[in-house]
Amino acid sequence: MDKMLKQYLDRAKEIIGERTASEIAYDNAVVEALNSGLSLEAALSLAAQRHPGEAIQCDSGTISDIAAHYDYLKAHDQIMKKLQMKKRN
């Protein structure tokens, strides 16, 4: 693995943090819903229906932080998919 990729993955791990399998599933559900065009609030609601134990409570004071978190996860997901496609070729 080249040095730059390792640095990115290490930094991503710091930003995302340790998550349980159910937290990952919830986050993936939010990202999937966002990628399909739903608003953040709708994506959170849909993910909460699928994974009620992981549901995030948000309000006007936290929504921007939550939005930034999921913007990062969306970008990270796209990068990881591109890397996987590159590995296959």
Domain ranges of the chain: 20-88
Please answer whether residues 29 and 47 qualify as being in contact, where contact means their C-beta atoms are separated by less than 8 angstroms.
yes
The pLDDT tens digits along the chain (89 residues) read 689 989 999 999 999 999 999 999 999 999 999 999 999 999 999 999 999 999 998 888 999 999 999 999 999 999 999 988 877 76
Entry pTM: 0.87
Please answer whether residues 50 and 37 qualify as being in contact, where contact means their C-beta atoms are separated by less than 8 angstroms.
no
In this predicted structure, what is the pLDDT of residue 89?
A: 66
In this predicted structure, what is the pLDDT of residue 84?
A: 86
In this predicted structure, what is the pLDDT of residue 58?
A: 87
Cα separation, 41 vs 60, in Å, equals 11
